[in-house]
Every structure is written in C-alpha cells, then in structure tokens.
Structure 1
Amino acid sequence: MIRWAGFNRFLPWRASRWPAILCCSAVLAAAGCQKFNLGGSAVIKKGSNVKMHYTLTVDGQVMDSSTGREPLAFVQGSGQIIPGLEAALEGLKTGEKKQVTVAPEQGYGVRDDRAIQKVPKTAFDNAAGLKVGSVVSGQAGNRPFQAVVTAISAKEITLDLNHPLAGKTLNFAIEIVEVKGS
C-alpha cells in the first residue's frame, strides 16, 4: 500500500468519508431508487403527475388554450389526454417548452362517414328551434353524446357524431409547469 501524505489535499472530502458514502449509496439502491437526478427536475414518464400550459391551434386558428387559467393537470400514461400529445411529452422536464404536431390518427381520429346519422324530427323536443350548426346532446343507451346538426329536412335531422376535431392536424404549443412522482 502506498501512502502519500499530500493526497487528501486534492480531494474535497476526506478519504475517511468513503465508507459513509458507499453505505448511503447501498441504502438508496436497496430502497429501489431507480433514477437519481442530481441536478434537475423530474422527467415525465408513465405515472408522473404533470401540469402544463398549452395552446391548441388548427389551421392557424386557436381552438383552446390554458392561458389565463390553471394549467392542465393529468397523469402521464393514463389516457387522460390524446395519444399523440401524451407520447410527445415523454422525457420532458419542468420548464421545458415544445411545439407538438399531432396527426388525426393520434388525435381525435379520422372522420368516419358512419358517424353521420339521420334521426326523425319526432325524436327531438325542440326540433323547431334547431338550426344547421346547432350542437345537440343526447344519450344512446347509457352513453352520452354530442352531435352537430348538419342538415334539416321536413321529417329528419342529420347529425354528425364525429368529434369536431376529427380529421384535423392538431398543433400544440406546450410548457411543462410541474412534474411529480411516477
């Protein structure tokens, strides 16, 4: 064993502290610590509680925004937000900003012509008050729905049950406000 008296002056800690450091490392490993992030905030991964601000635009028009409101809060990987946005957030940290483009297949889906339904006017309590573009709510079995009136004839009302953003490419400007746990 070589002993050099000047060695300790090059270390910011004394060599006698190594056993304590190794012991703490072993305790953390035994406790199941999978990731030790020394300098930054938590990273978004499945199970993370996330808060973010966003602005959604479609064809250059702002459709929704959290500006001036509380940030959107959700659990990553739980299906609370559309799949394409959720996938794009994976790995981001608090304070990060990102532009995200989501294709219809990963957003609200492609338009489905089978979701266009003709319903007898007698099915509506307020058929006389409906106009093309009106949004109606209803229930099919135990499932609530919303639809847009697309046509009105003497006996029928045509409803579009597609999501209003179905078939649209979605553009999000997001800012991660908080990431906790996982």
Structure 2
Amino acid sequence: MKQRYSSMPMYYKFDYAIRNESDEIVDSSAGGEVLSFVEGDGSMIAGLEKAFVGREVGDEFSVTVGPEEAYGWPQRQLIKTISRDMIQTDAEEIKVNMIFQIGSGTDSQVVKVVSVEKDGITVDGNHPLAGIALNFDIQVLEVRQVESDLI
C-alpha cells in the first residue's frame, strides 16, 4: 500500500464479490457493472471505504465488514403492517418476498413483503443485508485524485 500525502479525495473503481457468513455469493460484478466511489461522498459503506485507503491499481484484497460498518442491524420499527391499498397492485398478486416502494417523494421507502393477511400486509423496510457480516473480495481497477472543482 502506498502512503498518501494529499488531502484531495480519491476516486476508486473496482471489481468485487460479496459473500455472506455462509460463504454464499450475494452480489458480484462478474458479468455486470463494476462499482466506483469517491472517498467521503457517502455512497460506499464505511467499512469498505476504509479498506481502500492507500490502495493502488491492481491491488487484490479481501476484507470482512461487520453490520455496524455496512448496512446496520435490523430495526424492529422498520417492520410494520400496512393496509393493502398502500401497495398499488392487485391485492391477489401480492406474495411473500415481493419488493415494493411505498409512500412518495422523500417519504418513500423500499420494503419486502414478509406476510400477507386479510387485514393487512406485513412489510420489512430493513436493508436485505442488515445484520450480516459481509466478506468482500476486491480487485482495484482505477485509482485517481478527484479534482477540487468536481467535488
């Protein structure tokens, strides 16, 4: 790893595979889009962003990121029962594990259907990877300083 002396944020582009605690791949750039981020822009989970500090093009590394520095711990208040009319689809088509967006504007939320009952639908607004330690396998493809006028 290279020591950095500049205070300018860095841009990183990388290939990745993410494995859960059972060593199953839950996401990967194989056959798809690579990821990129600018240090400090808030688009990358904290634990992974820290692991990139000092990395160079061609570096390959693995890092485990706990829930506290990834997607957090599941929160009970994000599991709630809503009325069927909050989901704009035929009530007969709603099934467990379906993903919907409820609300609108800044109050919108992506939720997963947990159960379907006569009196309502129980949905979970937690991130699907909340509460899980994630194992990342990374290959760094591009590293460069971000110009101050682009931040």
Pair in the same fold by TM > 0.5: yes
* Cross-structure match for 1:162: 126
Q: Which residue of 1 aligns with 2:139?
A: 175
User: Number of residues paired by the alignment?
Assistant: 143
Identity percentage over the alignment? 33
AA paired with 1:106? E
The alignment yields a C-alpha RMSD, in angstroms, of: 2.2
**1:91 Cα deviation after fit:** 1.2
Question: Structure 2 regions of 5+ residues with no counterpart?
Answer: 147-151
What does 1:131-146 align with in structure 2 at a 5 Å threshold? 131-146=95-110
Q: Is 1:115 the equivalent of 2:78?
A: yes
Q: For CA contacts below 8 A with separation 6 or more, give which structure has more relative contact order.
A: 2
Q: Which structure features the higher share of helix residues?
A: 1
Cα shift at 1:97: 0.7
- Matched to 1:96, the amino acid is D
Over 3 Å counting, the alpha-carbon distance change for 1:108 and 1:46 in structure 2 is: farther
- Alignment of 1:92 with 2:55, yes or no, is yes
Aligned AA (2:11) = N
Q: State how far apart, in whole Å, the 1-side matches of 2:3 and 2:11 are.
A: 10
Which amino acid in 1 is paired with 2:61? K
| SS in structure 2 of the partner of residue 68 of structure 1 | coil
1:92-131: CA deviation from partner (whole Å, max 9, x where unpaired): 1111111010000100000111110110123233222101
Long gaps (5+) in structure 1: 1-39
Letter paired with 1:179: V
In structure 2, what is the Cα distance between the partners aligned to 1:152 and 1:52? 40
Mapped partners of 1:46, 1:113: distance in 2? 39
| Greater share of residues in strand | 2
The residue type equivalent to 2:97 in the other structure is G
C-alpha displacement at 1:153, in angstroms? Answer: 1.1
Contact 2:3 2:54 in 1 (8 A): no
